[in-house]
Chains A and B, each alone.
Chain A
């Protein structure tokens, strides 16, 4: 039950992108095509889960004075593994992501979860939390990238969706589009949350 709660937490209540608003750099930079969103989400979920598990296993071994350098080494190692793996097997995607795959190492989500959660709880709970946060991040940036791709190019995952008469709004895949789509989505999520709060109160 506790595990389920830890897992669901990252999906909505404490969604890293829409609620906590951390780890935004990659969410804005790579979301020009829906496939990038999914790939970036998977890469981050991998690093986050592996690091959380390891930090949780080592939580009684690492002295608290050197915990931050230890976490940094752990996260940097897994980031490099993902970096090499993507370079070898998905070179086209890797090229599009540019420096944002190596930048997972300074993604606030990973270090924040290691420091604030994984270092204090059991391996099972740390895993559930990391998977939830990772998936929460993945759906959030996939949604952003789908909206940007649809508006900016009229396609979804590379397939033409909009009719012939559709004029793409190029700004959506340019930098301003990222900020504006993000702002509107965060606003919408606020409205949905308020509605939910109202309903649960009136019952």
Chain B
């Protein structure tokens, strides 16, 4: 067998073997990966809507909403995702909102790459917790009605701004006092 043919045969066999191994491991892990992603999403929705034990996905306009339901099927609130421009990259936030009262139920940081020890404190309760009960009428300005983390004004502003902008859109879809 000449050198040239052998070269091609070896390459083809190795690529095919590699493809087979990859397809098999993808088949084996994919259900688990999907499940993990779904679980993570559901968990964050249930955290930002207190009292909810189940969630339901709804598409309205070009936004995805997650409606939180309790055991009896009562609607406890809606949740939606928004993204802010942080210090080192995007900050993904899940926001819980009660359209009846026009107030926030809570927020959760889904992913971020802020500075550990400074901007990363947006994930901690003292910062996250202050959004609970805030009204859609509020200004959401860091250092005024939103307490900024000292040394991390940009990260704090990014979260506040992202919530404010997305709320303005959400209020048009789910007006305050209306049903959802």
Q: Which residues of A contact B (CB under 8 A)?
A: 32, 58, 61-63, 65-66, 69-70, 73-74, 76-77, 80-81, 84-85, 87-89, 91, 95, 152-153, 168, 170, 173-174
Contacts and interface: CB of A to CB of B under 8 A. Distances in A.
Contact of A63 (B6, B26, B118): B6
A52 B94 CA distance: 44
Contacts of B3: 63, 65
Contact of A170 (B18, B25, B118): B118
B116 A70 contact: no
A80 B22 contact: yes
Contacts of B40: 91
Contacts of B30: 84, 88
Interface in B112-140: 115-118
A70 B115 CA distance: 40
A168 B117 contact: yes
Contacts of A170: 115-118
A84 B118 CA distance: 32
A170 B116 CA distance: 7
A63 B2 CA distance: 11
B14 interface: yes
Contacts of A63: 3, 6-7, 10
A91 B3 CA distance: 46
Main SS of chain A's interface residues? helix
B33 A66 contact: no
A71 B38 CA distance: 36
A152 B111 contact: no
Given A65-B7, A85-B29, A152 B117 contact: yes
A95 B116 contact: no
Interface residues of B, number: 24
Nearest to B20: A77
A84 B29 contact: yes
Interface of B: 3, 6-7, 10-11, 14-15, 18, 21-22, 25-26, 29-30, 32-33, 36-37, 40, 111, 115-118
A89 to B, nearest CB: 7
Contacts of A81: 21-22, 25
24 contacts: A58-B14, A62-B10, A63-B3, A66-B10, A66-B11, A70-B10, A70-B11, A74-B14, A76-B18, A81-B21, A81-B22, A81-B25, A85-B25, A85-B29, A87-B33, A89-B32, A91-B37, A91-B40, A152-B116, A153-B116, A153-B117, A170-B115, A173-B117, A174-B115
B29 A173 contact: no
A91 B35 CA distance: 11
Contact of A84 (B10, B25, B111): B25
A81 B28 CA distance: 10
A32 B116 contact: yes
A137 B26 CA distance: 28
Which 7 residue pairs spanning A and B have beta carbons closest together?
A: A88-B32, A170-B117, A88-B29, A77-B18, A84-B29, A91-B36, A173-B116
Contacts of B29: 84-85, 87-88
B14 A73 contact: yes
Contacts of A65: 3, 7
Contacts of A88: 29-30, 32-33, 36
Contacts of A61: 10
Given A77-B18, A91-B40, 9 more contacts: A77-B21, A80-B25, A87-B33, A88-B32, A89-B32, A153-B117, A168-B117, A170-B116, A174-B116
Nearest to B113: A98
